[in-house]
A = this chain, B = another copy of it.
């Protein structure tokens, strides 16, 4: 089963990280912010290459403000790891020790009364500490204040996302050859995880195997249910490869599909195609959702498509832009996101088909390219 591993791409350089930090601060200024506070997570990885081994109560914060060098405040214990990050040469590193108040230390880098952007997933505990430490300061989440900060990928990021997508596709091709009938969902999920790792992923984020009625719960992961002949099985899997995400879904049938499954699957396939075809520069995100949803609504299943059509992907598997009604952000070349309509029939079955799509000048381009027709497995 082992295959040739993809050649690892050259790492991003400290100059590239420095350029990202400069652009982030320029975007923040343009958006009316006085600076950014970035905590561990996808934004910090994107800006500095630094991913702490664990995200804990010990504060790590990148502070970007116009009047000083980018400053990373880290627990003294974690300083050696932070210094090893690819973006470290572009940072002033400051450490703090147990017993000190790190929020006061971070707050000292922020002007009183400043309006700062802050990472979505920063801990509430740390935000409250900053609000207390800096009189009159106010905060806006990065998703609300700078939603498109990481949304447009450069060529090297696109290459990574394409490689991650190809690895997910290879995983799908191989999972079609394993046995489904009589095995548990968790067994097939373990196969998916193993294959993603074999194909070069360093991290598996989700391996959904939703068989029969479990497929009707879009967020069901994989359980003890034994897969039966006749089941529709939703497969939705992905993770990180060289720091960038994969995420694809296909729905297969164990043995001959029923007429009902064939019908529902075909509606979802056409909806996915319609969503994909709506992708081109300048079109609002919500138009992608509308295009996919219209096919499902017209077929009479509108009430059974209970989630948005897609989400962005990059250094994390869920990020802006979101393909959802009300999102008027126009698509820009280099954006990457999922197009993943589904139909969920409670107690019966679910069908979802998902590709990552990137926006090119001429329209959408798929980063997942396995067949979207209903495949039969054993």
A residues within 8 Å of B by Cβ? Answer: 39, 53-54, 56-57, 75-78, 80-81, 97-99, 118-128, 139-141, 143-144, 205-206, 217-221, 306-308, 318, 324-326
Contact = CB atoms under 8 A, between A and B. Distances in A.
Contacts of A121: 123-125
Contact of A120 (B57, B77, B218): B57
Contacts of A76: 306
A347 to B, nearest CB: 11
Given A81-B217, A220-B81, A139 B124 contact: yes
B220 A80 contact: yes
Given A98-B324, A99-B308, A217-B80, A141 B124 contact: yes
A205 B53 CA distance: 10
Contact of A219 (B53, B99, B219): B53
A251 to B, nearest CB: 17
User: What copy number does this chain have within its complex?
Assistant: 2
Contacts of A125: 120-121, 141, 143-144
Contacts of A122: 123-124
Contacts of A218: 77
A57 B143 contact: yes
Contacts of A205: 54
Given A99-B308, A122-B124, A124-B139, 19 more contacts: A54-B205, A57-B143, A77-B217, A77-B307, A78-B219, A80-B219, A81-B217, A98-B324, A99-B325, A118-B128, A121-B123, A121-B124, A122-B123, A124-B124, A124-B126, A124-B141, A127-B127, A128-B140, A128-B141
Contacts of A143: 57, 125
B81 A324 contact: no
Nearest to A122: B124
17 contacts: A39-B124, A56-B318, A75-B219, A80-B219, A81-B217, A97-B307, A98-B324, A99-B308, A99-B326, A118-B124, A118-B128, A119-B124, A122-B124, A123-B124, A124-B126, A124-B139, A125-B144
A219 B81 contact: yes
A42 to B, nearest CB: 11
Contacts of A318: 56-57
A98 B306 CA distance: 8
Contacts of A221: 53
Contacts of A139: 124, 128
A127 to B, nearest CB: 4
